[in-house]
Structure 1
Amino acid sequence: MQIKELQIKQICNKHRLNLKNYKLIGEKMGAFNLNILLDTKQGKFVLRIENDKRFKNKKQEYEILKKLDGKFGPKVYYFDDSNLIIDGDYLIEEFIEFGEHPPSEPSNEFILAMAKFYEELHRIKVNILDVKVYTSYQLKPGFDEDIEMIQQSIAYLDKKQREIIEDFISKVSRIVNEHNEIFTSRTQMSLIHGDPTRRNIFYQNGKVKLIDWEMARYQIREWDLAFFVWSYDLDKEQKRFFLKESGYPLNEISNKQFNLIYLLHCFGIQAWMTERLKLVEEGKIDTNLSNSSKEEILQGIIENNKIIETAISLFEIS
């Protein structure tokens, strides 16, 4: 997505904002959004523009943030899907000036803060009959999409990495088939953020706020919890502390449910990275503008393979 200064000014004028200055937030664009800091006479705001037309969820992000009204993240003010000024949906939200990004090595205080954040966020629930998402409790549909994504991209990996991932597909397929119905007794889904990476978290005095809610949705809460454990590479003690403080039950069935979602999260990350590699190789992602170079993606795939192998080892494969 390329945007001109004139278009930024037109967007501000449409929403009665008197623009003084603007700049791209972050050195490079994210995978799904272009974020621009708007410095206006009315204050500072963030203009978030969709950066991937296959991933159209700006309206959902806007509606969720509107409902939260600044409690867990930024307040949101405007949404536009008319495509009259730019070729893409956008929203305008509050510019968060709270705390700092957490350290790369998580402290117990930070882990506790995130656990309590999730405990409160996940209390926001919907009955499963109120949303058309029943298949989301079944694991196979999403897993099959990840397999398809990998199969379309795997040719760009070397022979060794292809063989490793193909073996994973076989093993994880058996695990999913055996546990596909493990969540179907639940009657509610929680609101989840969906992307607790370090750059999306602001932390201060035991409190956190999260930005980038494009992955937010109603789902089983394990997706948030597993993503956090993966993102910060929590050890066994840290993971137990985090899950306990988030109100997650520590019993045999819950442990299996968490391990299953953790495995599928790691596999989904692998699908996303292999697709990113394919898009880079095909020249569809400008590595000068995106967050990942080809080398970084390849290294990430190799490192994630080790994590997947460990996650698979937690299951007895028939």
Structure 2
Amino acid sequence: MKPIIAITMGDAAGIGPEIIVKALSHPDIYEVCRPLVVGDTGTLERAAAISSRDAMKIRPIEGVAEALFQHGIIDCINLKLLPDAVPYGQLSAAAGNAAFHYIAKAVELAKSGEVQAICTAPLNKEALHKGGHLYPGHTEILAKLTETEDFSMMLSTGRLKVIHLTTHVGLIKAVELITPERTYKVLKLADQVLRAAGNNHPRIALCGINPHAGENGLFGNGEEEEKLVPAVEKARMEGMDVYGPAPADTLFYRAMRGDFDIVVACYHDQGHAPIKVLGIEDGVNITVGLKGGIIRTSVDHGTAFDIAGKGIADEKSMLEAIRSAVELAPKQTV
């Protein structure tokens, strides 16, 4: 059967509601999955109006069992967290709080098996904090709600996959957090997720921390030898095909050429920049390693407050995120 995908609405002041409505106006989405939104019906109706999707009917429901899953009708589990229309493009504590609770509800549905995957629209971290939820982003929220310790962020496009040792921390803190244990765990997650997707021999490339991967001690203070090499050796002993640590500036090119199936980045910008150069609209953010096998995908862009409410946001990344959720969701036979 087609998997049920819970799509969280994200920050109501941003483009999330708009790109959801636009994405669900594509009939082919309903051919591969059964989508429903966790959010606020009033906000979705406003998004439909500003994006010229007035023909789409927003249908409030209480639970998954009430959903119709018909093209032209957007089923929305209406949490009623936004009393009034949230101004577009402005930080809102109410929108930040609501965005958190949309995620919490989706996780609840995934844990109970009522949905097979979660796809998230963007939230605003500052609004999230104003709403009382002090998390760096989606990945950390999902890890907390699922009681997951060993997780990582993976970015994917048609040409490149990247998984991270660290994400939403400053650069100095990131280097501090990288340990042989963390490096090994992420190498193993990379191997597992690709094998689960049907790749029986994943080729993994690990970036160095310093320029030229330290160049045999010329740059840095031996971080590669201390924090990365022991993990690579352990992974290889277990049969994983790992290359590196090697200079990041050449690894991404080689991965795009086809030498590797996935690149392990040491910190946020090292992994994000190459993906976003390829095109923000094509990128998908995937949380890897959540307990219970919960699948979560997301657009690889932010709330875009500067264009929110103008009806011009591109839904391409949301479409790709939904399709990735379908691809990774556990298959049902009954």
Superposition TM-score tier, normalisation by shorter sequence? under 0.3
Higher helix share: 1
TM-score, normalised to structure 1, is: 0.26
